[in-house]
Structure 1
Amino acid sequence: MSTPLLLSPSQLQQLLPDTKQVSILDASWFMPNSPRNANEEFLKKRVPGAQFLDLDEVSSPHELGLKHMIPSERHFADTCGMTKLTDCIHIYKSSSSITEAFGIEPTSHVILYDTHGVFSSPRALFMFRAFGHEKSSILDGGLPRWEAEGFPIEAKPPARTRNSVYPTPVFDKAMIRSYDQMASNSFTDLHSDPAVELVIDARSRGRFLGTDPEPRPGLSSGHIPHSFSLPFTAFLQTSTIPNSSVQYTTFLPIAELRNALVSHVGDHAEAVIQGKRPITTTCGSGMTAGVLWLGLKLLGAPNVALYDESWTGYASRASSKIEKAAN
């Protein structure tokens, strides 16, 4: 039986008694220009038993200094647990290293959430699925929805994680696109060749068209040639917690997700869903591209990849062709 991509707060609550088989991770992340600090907020309030996943730390170094790039197989395994039993013994002797691993095993059901509702948790889910950890889901609506529906909040210091063994996994390279692959694909004709990948951009329409600035100073806005604008917010709906100004996002129902895809890419939508046309998601830095990736997976699209560097990597290179007009 396959593990659902989305869980509601009530579904997560039903899983909590089995804490040995469930690992909950707060994968909150904020834009570089935001005053909020995800780890500080986690320490103040979280889903009971949750641990904090820093997506900028669980990553690989990049030649351009880009953040939250997909980690190495070994780094991912060491974040989850230890790669062999002798490592567990070594870690037990070093209290400063115990918190580096989450106590996750290959059979653990990993549930990821964020404090926006749906924002950075899909990127975290993408990472787990890319390393073959299929038993993983996101909490749809995140911490705000969990709290709004009356489920308990934890504010005491996080508990120490248990030791676990997590063998080094095999990364699915088909789920990631490199700069060279994206640049090559941008010169191809989408309409004459069914093998050409459709590229959808999760940034705002203004940044896509080059009329609004990028949040990263000195970086040009615009888009990759032949790509389509599909702001990640088009896949989401916003709710307001009663008697407050706090809002959170959740995924649209499947029928509305399909309509959103059709409205942005037209006739290509059905080919993507049926697996006849591969598709790659991109955004500013590889974060909200995860929202589009997850929305497409919810629609059943089989051939979905993510451009890890996304626009920051693409536009930082002098050799990149940047377009600013609408398709």
Structure 2
Amino acid sequence: MFSRRSLLASFHVPLSSRSIATISMAPLLIRPSELNNLLKEKQDVAILDATWFMPNVPRNGYEEFLQKRIPGAHFLDLDKVASSHPLGLKHMMPSERAFADACESFGIKPSSHVVLYDTHGIFSSPRALFMFRTFGHSNSSVLDGGLPIWESESNSVENGPPPEAEKAEYPTPRLDHGSIRDYDQISKNASLDPAVAELVLDARSRGRYLGVDPEPRPGLSSGHMPNSVSLPFNVFLEQKTGPGANTFPVFKAAPDIQKALEDAVGQDRASRIIKGELPVVTSCGSGMTAGILWLGLKLLGAPQTAVYDESWTGYAMRPTSKIEKN
């Protein structure tokens, strides 16, 4: 078992004493104090609000962004910065050029430290981080606790349309295809012997995984794919309380994330996942909260971690998919 101190140090690295220009990879998570230090030092920082809501939630991320945001932030619409999909699925990974064009529109250069947050605390920002890291932009982080923790520590916010960003130049990057799985790969994996298959970690609720609760998307069967294990994304998170008893999620300490992983897959498989001996793929309803599991595993140092981009929606929409229940 890792020591709490060494694991926390591995993903909450203070930035104030180091120059971003000399850092090849930013910490996965940062705190408001660290973001403030970056801004005070006039570092090349780009702040993006990556808020996204489930389709059955009557809220609009951009409208709320206009009402309240971290100063200097721009809005990253994950459904717009996405590739088209034959099944009409949203927020799929964009093409290499589309990603570069989006970065240019936000004034982001390859050297920029991109800080991503959402208004939930932790929900959609890990998916945005997955996108940046998979395109090789390692100088990127998630603000752990998002806008709620920013406000809870008495930091200022602003509203209204943000000033237009000064357009930057961003060369076309290269997508790390090893970090993404498509339907053909997942379908073949579902047919393999468990001893040789990649393990799929399903971030949906256990009821949806077992097929006893309905999916939020009408007409879509619940259940799960073969060679998968239920690991609801919220087991990697804990609730913090801000002013006025407002609660919001943040990532648990690394030992607690590891314990949640062990509870789901067993100590032996958890150890093999962390060492990179057992490749895993994270999945959810549509590829959004799979990012939370991906980030939690990265915090543990698990190197062989990919995301099934379509996730359950793309899998269950196809009549030839093998679906298990219970």
TM-score (norm 1): 0.91
CA gap of 1:304–1:125, structure 2 versus 1, over 3 A, is: same
Please report how far the alpha carbon of residue 157 of structure 1 lies from its aligned counterpart in structure 2 after TM superposition.
Answer: 2.9
CA distance in 2, matches of 1:60, 1:155: 30
Please report how far the alpha carbon of residue 188 of structure 1 lies from its aligned counterpart in structure 2 after TM superposition.
Answer: 1.5
Paired AA for residue 157 in structure 2: I
The within-5 A match list for 1:220-231 is 220-231=221-232
Q: For residue 46 of structure 1, what is the aligned residue in structure 2?
A: 69
Please report how far the alpha carbon of residue 18 of structure 1 lies from its aligned counterpart in structure 2 after TM superposition.
Answer: 4.5
CA contact (8 A) 2:51 2:119 kept: yes
Paired AA for residue 273 in structure 1: I
CA distance in 2, matches of 1:210, 1:263: 21
CA distance in 2, matches of 1:157, 1:57: 18
Please report how far the alpha carbon of residue 156 of structure 1 lies from its aligned counterpart in structure 2 after TM superposition.
Answer: 3.9
CA distance in 1, matches of 2:236, 2:191: 28
The within-5 A match list for 1:303-318 is 303-318=304-319
**Structure 2 residue aligned with 1:113, among 100, 117, 129?**
117
CA distance in 2, matches of 1:102, 1:19: 17
CA distance in 1, matches of 2:114, 2:147: 15
**Structure 2 residue aligned with 1:74, among 97, 109, 131?**
97
2:80 partner SS: coil
Q: For residue 49 of structure 2, what is the aligned residue in structure 1?
A: 26
Please report how far the alpha carbon of residue 242 of structure 1 lies from its aligned counterpart in structure 2 after TM superposition.
Answer: 3.0
CA distance in 2, matches of 1:252, 1:139: 14
Q: For residue 294 of structure 1, what is the aligned residue in structure 2?
A: 295
Structure 2 residue 208 is the aligned partner of structure 1 residue 207: yes
CA distance in 1, matches of 2:78, 2:41: 26
Please report how far the alpha carbon of residue 313 of structure 1 lies from its aligned counterpart in structure 2 after TM superposition.
Answer: 0.1
Q: For residue 143 of structure 1, what is the aligned residue in structure 2?
A: 147
Structure 2 residue 17 is the aligned partner of structure 1 residue 13: no
TM-score (norm 2): 0.91
Please report how far the alpha carbon of residue 19 of structure 1 lies from its aligned counterpart in structure 2 after TM superposition.
Answer: 4.8
CA distance in 1, matches of 2:244, 2:250: 19
Q: For 1:225-263, what per-residue CA distance to the aligned partner results, in whole angstroms no more than 9, with x for missing partners?
A: 12000000000001122323x321100001101000000
Task: Give 5+ residue unaligned stretches, structure 1.
Answer: 82-100
2:142 partner SS: strand
The ranges of structure 1 where at least 4 consecutive aligned residues each deviate by more than 4 angstroms after the TM superposition are: none
Q: For 1:47-91, what per-residue CA distance to the aligned partner results, in whole angstroms no more than 9, with x for missing partners?
A: 01000000000000000000000000000000001xxxxxxxxxx
Please report how far the alpha carbon of residue 202 of structure 1 lies from its aligned counterpart in structure 2 after TM superposition.
Answer: 0.2
Q: How many residues align?
A: 302
Q: What RMSD over aligned residues (CA atoms) do the two structures have, in Å?
A: 1.0
Q: For residue 86 of structure 1, what is the aligned residue in structure 2?
A: none
Q: Percent identity?
A: 61
Paired AA for residue 94 in structure 2: P
CA contact (8 A) 2:203 2:284 kept: yes
Please report how far the alpha carbon of residue 163 of structure 1 lies from its aligned counterpart in structure 2 after TM superposition.
Answer: 1.9
Paired AA for residue 48 in structure 1: P
Q: For residue 249 of structure 2, what is the aligned residue in structure 1?
A: 249
2:185 partner SS: helix
CA distance in 2, matches of 1:204, 1:188: 25
CA distance in 1, matches of 2:42, 2:99: 21
The within-5 A match list for 1:156-167 is 156-167=160-171
Please report how far the alpha carbon of residue 20 of structure 1 lies from its aligned counterpart in structure 2 after TM superposition.
Answer: 5.7
Q: For residue 175 of structure 2, what is the aligned residue in structure 1?
A: 171
Q: For residue 265 of structure 1, what is the aligned residue in structure 2?
A: 265
**Structure 1 residue aligned with 2:83, among 60, 66, 70?**
60
